[in-house]
């Protein structure tokens, strides 16, 4: 089992380095290919909706928007090339039919439209999608996360704000015995089998007993994954904080967690624990729904 195809959407929001860093860190483990996709708005989307405009003014807006898109593409492409050159990562043309299977490779592609729509289209043909952590106050990035988790239902890695150079050496599993958690583990098995250390974080209660955790660890062992169980205490209204504290205490550099929530009216509605961990984790979070 391996992760060979990674999609990393970026845009000019200052989060590209963290997304690219996480995508490459995962890619190095498996000698994957990373498709970096820069998404910019279509010029016609810049036209004010419902505002009557003369044909000349409309053309002026379209021309200015197209120029800005090209300038932003050039700026980010230079940053991308410099980033790869500094790390001695060779780039290949997007959609190339020839790429190394025994080394990390990366390509750049430019797409016009909405980032979530690009994910819905391109995300069908990859093993994992890397996205930035959404911003809670502005909701920026939630549509992209929603598209990855609930529309194409792919394994999704959320990049923390600080750039990541290495991850996946010690993976912690947020385990509560739920179908969501089991599904996330199933999808993340390549990461778990490649990890040097795996820790099962569990808060024993009526739903998760020691015997159930032991059965789960037996399942992991059958896949060649040895793990240690690390129970932690929680209060009724606080699970996310002690989960993250326990992961940090034992030195985890990645957390695998089920996506507890749903997509309603095209909005991402997350469970309380999922939302807390998503907003506060300082290490990569890998989720599936």
Q: What is the CATH number of the domain that holds 132?
A: 3.40.50.620
Say how far residue 165 (Cα) sits from the centre of its chain.
15
Q: Is residue 164 part of a domain?
A: no
Whether residues 31 and 121 share a domain: the answer is yes
Q: For residues 106 and 27, state if they share a domain.
A: yes
Both 69 and 194 in a single domain? Answer: no
Please check whether residues 25 and 135 belong to one and the same domain.
yes
Residue 26 lies in a domain: yes
* 186 in the same domain as 88: no
Which range (36-45, 214-223, 277-286) has the least confidence? 36-45
Q: Dump pLDDT digits (tens) for 53-67.
A: 667 766 766 666 566
Q: Which of 5-19, 99-113, 124-138, 198-212 is predicted with the least confidence, judged by mean pLDDT?
A: 198-212
**Cβ atoms of 199 and 171 closer than 8 Å:** yes
Residues 128 and 201 in one domain: no
Tokens 């016609």 belong to 44
pLDDT band at 273 (very low <50, low <70, confident <90, very high): confident
pLDDT-based confidence at 267, cuts 50/70/90? very low
Looking at the fold, whether 69 and 175 belong to one and the same domain comes out as no
Provide the number of structural domains found in the chain: 2
Q: Are 183 and 70 members of one domain?
A: no
Tell me: the pLDDT tens digits for 224-248? 999 999 988 877 677 889 999 999 9
* End position of a domain, from candidates 159, 185, 212: 159
- Asked if pLDDT for residue 145 goes beyond 60, the answer is yes
Residues 133 and 218 in one domain: no
**Structural domain contains residue 165:** no
Give bridge partners of residue 231 from the DSSP assignment. Answer: 202
Residue 241 is assigned to a structural domain of this protein: yes
With bands split at pLDDT 50, 70 and 90, how would you rate the model's confidence at 270? Answer: low
Range of the structural domain that residue 105 is part of: 5-159
Domain check: are 176 and 278 in the same one?
yes
Cβ partners under 8 Å of residue 192, min gap 6: 171, 173, 185, 198, 220, 223, 225, 256
Catalogue the E-assigned strands of the chain.
Answer: 5-10, 33-40, 105-112, 128-132, 155-159, 170-174, 197-202, 228-231, 254-258, 261-264, 267-270, 285-288
Q: What is the pTM of this model?
A: 0.86
| Predicted pLDDT of residue 88 | 86
| Whether residue 228 is found in the same domain as residue 208 | yes
């Amino acid at each position: 089992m391996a992760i060979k195809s990674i999609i990393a959407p970026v845009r000019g929001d200052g989060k590209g380095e963290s997304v690219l860093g996480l995508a490459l860190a995962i890619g190095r483990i498996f000698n994957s290919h990373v498709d970096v996709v820069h998404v910019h708005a279509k010029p016609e989307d810049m036209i004010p909706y419902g505002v009557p405009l003369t044909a000349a003014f409309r053309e002026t807006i379209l021309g200015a928007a197209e120029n800005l898109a090209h300038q932003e593409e050039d700026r980010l492409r230079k940053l991308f090339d410099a980033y790869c050159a500094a790390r001695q990562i060779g780039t290949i043309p997007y959609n190339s039919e020839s790429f190394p299977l025994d080394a990390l490779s990366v390509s750049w592609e430019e797409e016009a439209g909405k980032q979530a729509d690009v994910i819905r289209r391109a995300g069908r043909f990859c093993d994992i999608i890397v996205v930035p952590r959404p911003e809670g106050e502005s909701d920026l990035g939630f549509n992209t996360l929603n598209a990855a988790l609930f529309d194409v239902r792919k394994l999704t890695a959320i990049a923390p704000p600080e750039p990541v150079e290495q991850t996946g050496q010690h993976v912690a599993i947020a385990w509560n015995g739920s179908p969501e958690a089991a599904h996330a583990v199933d999808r993340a098995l390549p990461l778990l089998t490649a990890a040097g250390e795996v820790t099962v974080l569990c808060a024993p209660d009526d739903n998760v007993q020691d015997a159930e955790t032991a059965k789960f660890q037996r399942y992991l062992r059958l896949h060649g994954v040895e793990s240690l169980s690390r129970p932690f205490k929680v209060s009724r209204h606080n699970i996310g904080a002690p989960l993250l504290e326990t992961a940090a205490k034992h030195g985890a550099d990645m957390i695998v967690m089920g996506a507890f929530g749903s997509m309603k009216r095209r909005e991402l509605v997350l469970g309380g624990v999922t939302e807390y961990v998503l907003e506060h984790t300082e290490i990569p979070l890998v989720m599936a729904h």
